[in-house]
Amino acid sequence: MTTLDVTGLVKEFNVGNAVRRDVLRAVDDVSFGLPPGRTVALVGASGSGKSTVARILARLETATSGTVTLDGAPAARRGAGLRAYRRQVQMVFQDPFSSLNPRHTVGYHLARPLRIHGHTRRGPEEEKAVHALLRRVSLTPVERVAAARPHELSGGQRQRVAIARALAPRPSVLLADEPVSMLDVSIRLEILHLIDRLKREDDLAVLYITHDLATARHFASEILVMNKGSIVERGPADDVILRPAHPYTRALADAAPDPLRPRTRTR
Amino acid sequence: MKPVLRIDGISVAYEAERATRAVRDVSLTVHRGEVLGLAGESGCGKSTLAYAMTRLLRPPGRITGGSVTHYAPDGATTDVLGLGGEELRRFRWERISMVFQGAMNALNPLLTVERQLTDTLHAHDAGGGRKERHARAAELLDLVGIDRKRMRAYPHELSGGMRQRVVIAMALALNPDVVVMDEPTTALDVLVQREILGEIDRLRELFGFAVVFITHDLSLLLEISDRIGIMYAGRLVELAPADELRAAPRHPYTVGLMSSFPSLRGERRSLRGIPGSPPDLSLPESGCAFAPRCPWAAQPCARGVPPLVSGAACVLHDPAIRPLGPPAELLAGTFPVPSVEGAR
Amino acid sequence: MAVPASASSSSSAAVQPDAPDAAHEPARARRWRLSRSRKLTAGLLIVGFFALLATVGAAFASGATTIGDDVLLAPSAGHWLGTTDTGQDVFKLLLLGSRGSLLIGVVAASAAVAVSTVIGVVGGYLGGAADEFLSLLTNVVLVLPGLPLVIMITDYVGNRSLLVIALVIAFTTWAAPARVLRSQVLSLRSRDYVAAAKVSGERTWRIMAFEILPNLIPIIASQFVFGLVLAILTDAGLAFLGLGNLDGRTWGSMLYFAQNGQALQLGAWWWFVPPGACIALVGTGLSLINFGLDELLNPRLRTWKGARS
């Protein structure tokens, strides 16, 4: 039973000019499912198409062909249907420094999705809801954080705000597009643990997009490896990492820095 | 091990509405031909240190103390900070060069690869006329594994990895003794990163230059460096050979950093990184800067900044303060984290 | 008549200073802070002075247009800046002119900024056919020669009141800021926070008004200031050609009458130098404000004394 299903997803970009028609297949026949309460990792290098998949699922891009179904129903592209889809499917962006509007307070960022999806109206009820969201992502003291602007917060705190904003509509699917790759190393794990906890509490279906195999292994139950637009390998996390079948996966695993690997340099 | 560059008590401050002391009294020596890794997170001062030692610091940054000394192969020493004008220009790319963060995007989009290389050679008057420079540019491209036929290409026609190789070729153009690399592979995917690192290693074997490799990726440094320096809040808190650092990290921050990298193939341990965030470098220091985040912090930590003694700047290794030795967890390399997440 | 733009770029990932800690502020930083205020302060002082003149001072200008017998008198105790060839007091005319010129400036700049903002933001954000149409419109108006167009329109309209002149100037100057704003919007709309707003379910018009527009305020402000300068200068130019307001209510019309009355040949410098100087001063003041604001918003533009790495 999956919450979100993707079948035969294809995305082509026109890269030719008037003289020569040329298309780039950024996503080539991708299919997978996101079950509730589990994390599926989509792993690949930059240019593999993984971010494009996320953007299509977030309805920021339209697929050239293929279907996306939410709870069995095809995902809408506009109007009320799209809004209903957005209530269920939310996204956390990669860059905490640009995913928050520098002109608005944290409170504004959280209140908007609450209001858009009809969970609250302006007033004390909304303020309480905003504070509750902040508490869920451990951003305290809530009054001070709600009144702060993004530049007053650290990268990790901003990313927590982004996660809180994604939770505001009470979604069932969370798309996390490289949520920690722009954060300091020592705080990445904490943020990933936060997403993991929220997934368990809300029974979310999480898509974790990353180029980092190690964290994919630790936080996901299933790993999909993408290369040049298609999925070259998929399976339970440990299987894919420890017993990779596809040569690309093997190359990725070998190339990743591994603190436990014996040093190859001779001196 | 012969030294090639000695940094003594360097301090750097950024003067804006109020002064931020980005680098505080850092001393280290780079040995000939070695790979010295510098690890740390945002705001630790590693990039600033790199700019300071190559005399590339721009206002509002300013070196407020210390010295940098260069040792030529014949033993002649140069006071790097004292150089001016023409001497400085000569020194900058001929003795020590730099590969910047995001360098691949710093290539001039309007010039061909060949032009960028010959411009560098021309600027330093490396001798010879246009033909010699052209030949040398081709040699350099060979060196970094780029087909000579790509000489007339523009940066946007090359992939990220190739652009980074061009930048490395430019850094090596005049055969320097030290190449400082600031996050040279961070923006590249992991496969290309491996290639580039292999390239750097090969060139190092060939020419014998030293590399100061700056990155936040400690796990990478553990693989490629001879020695590793860990920076925190503008100070050097640990400096040790890579093997020792991996087997027995001494500073609590190093232990914390190591527990931020889940192992790819090893057993799954519950790792949580380090709670809290780095201190505000514009405020005055009081004691050890890491103490607020350190699980073993105690009274002596607030008394003053611990000096870098036998590799680590931490009072826990001072027998006068802890006669029974450091805490067991520290020795075991475990970084205990309270179960409630902090809001960082 | 292109209006130069000052785009505010976001600061780099360098160390960000937080609240000031005066005890540790070295002399150098303090010196910089003073110089930062200097341009902005100077500009504000100049413009503030003239604004004061325009609002309060004009009250002292009663009887400015009264014709008298004391013609072409040099500055004296009775007439601080002398008289015109029809016996009007130059100083009082100057005060009156300050109100007229600044009023035209404000109305014209406001109208131009309003129109250019709407067209720039809507076209830039929506893209597609809307953008094509609005861009075409903008480019056509941009290409039309400004001064001849203004002349034609004022001639046609006939009415030469301050308001009409201001609107005509606005009509010929909205196109350049619109282009600037549009290009800025093109860059802003690909920012993550705009995508995040879309994913949150925010409606298009709200994204334009509440996500994009607030981030355009620095540019709009600077365009407004430049618009003021341009409007005052254009009005002066128009008036000098005899196409402006003929009630003698602006500095430009003073120059017109001075020229007509052969002030230069007669050596009556007190008639044309003051209005010219006022125009120049206001223009300078407004530009200083713009530069000062620019430096404030973009730390990299700040000038440093005695730089050494």
Neighbours of chain B (3+ CB pairs under 8 A): A, C
**pLDDT of C34 strictly over 70:** no
C29 in B contact zone (CB under 8 Å): yes
The pLDDT value recorded for residue A202 is 95
From the candidates C11, C15, C35, which should be mutated to test the interface with B, based on the most B CB atoms within 10 A? C15
Q: A260 contacts in B (CB within 8 Å)?
A: 263-266
CA of A242, closest CA in chain B: separation in Å? Answer: 6
Of C193, C202, C214, which has the smallest distance from its Cβ to A100's Cβ? C193
Q: How many residues does chain A have?
A: 267
Q: Does A257 touch chain C (CB under 8 A)?
A: no
What are the phi and psi torsion angles at B228 (to 5°)?
A: -130, 135
| Better-scored residue on pLDDT, C33 or A248 | A248
Question: B290 near B253, Cβ under 8 Å?
Answer: yes
**Measured between CA atoms, how close is C8 to chain A, in angstroms?**
13
What is the nearest CA distance from C206 to chain A, expressed in angstroms?
11
Second-level CATH architecture of C80-300: Orthogonal Bundle (1.10)
Tell which residue, B65, B115, B70, B62, has the closest CA to residue B92: B70
Q: Which residue has the higher pLDDT, C23 or A210?
A: A210
**More confident: A167 or C273:** A167
Can you give the residue ranges of every domain in chain A? 4-100+169-255
Whether A198 and A167 have beta carbons less than 8 Å apart is answered as: yes
Closest partner residue to A189 among B243, B260, B343, by Cβ?
B260
What is the CB-side half-sphere exposure of residue C194 using CA atoms within 13 A? 19
From first to last of its 344 residues, chain B has per-residue pLDDT tens of 789 999 999 999 988 777 889 999 999 999 999 999 999 988 899 999 999 998 888 888 899 999 999 998 888 888 988 888 888 888 888 889 999 877 767 788 889 988 888 888 888 776 678 888 888 888 888 888 888 888 888 888 888 788 888 898 888 888 899 999 998 888 788 888 888 888 888 888 888 999 999 999 898 999 899 999 999 999 999 999 999 998 999 999 999 998 888 888 877 777 888 888 888 888 888 889 998 899 988 888 888 888 888 888 888 888 888 888 888 888 888 888 876 554 44
- Please give the Cα distance from C20 to B177 (Å, whole number): 42
Of B16, B55, B58, the CB nearest to C299: B16
Tell me what pLDDT residue A148 has. 94
| 3-state secondary structure (DSSP) of residue C184 | helix
| CATH T-level assignment (fold) for domain A4-100+169-255 | Rossmann fold (3.40.50)
Q: For chain A, which residues score pLDDT lower than 70?
A: 1, 259-267
The pLDDT value recorded for residue C254 is 84
Domains of chain C by residue range:
80-300
- The distance of C132 to chain A (nearest Cα, Å) reads 19
More confident residue, C8 or B269: B269
Q: Is C78 exposed, middle or buried (0-12, 13-18, 19+ CB in 10 A)?
A: exposed
- Which residues of chain B are within 8 Å of residue A242 when distances are taken between CB atoms? 265
Measured N-to-C along each axis, helices C27-55 and C269-297 cross at an angle, to the nearest 10 degrees, of 140
Cα dihedral sign for A250, A251, A252, A253?
positive
Q: Are B141 and B169 in contact (CB under 8 A)?
A: yes
The ipTM, to two decimals, is 0.91
Worst-scoring range by mean pLDDT, A217-226, C47-56, C247-256? C247-256
Backbone angles phi, psi at C117, to 5 degrees: -65, -50
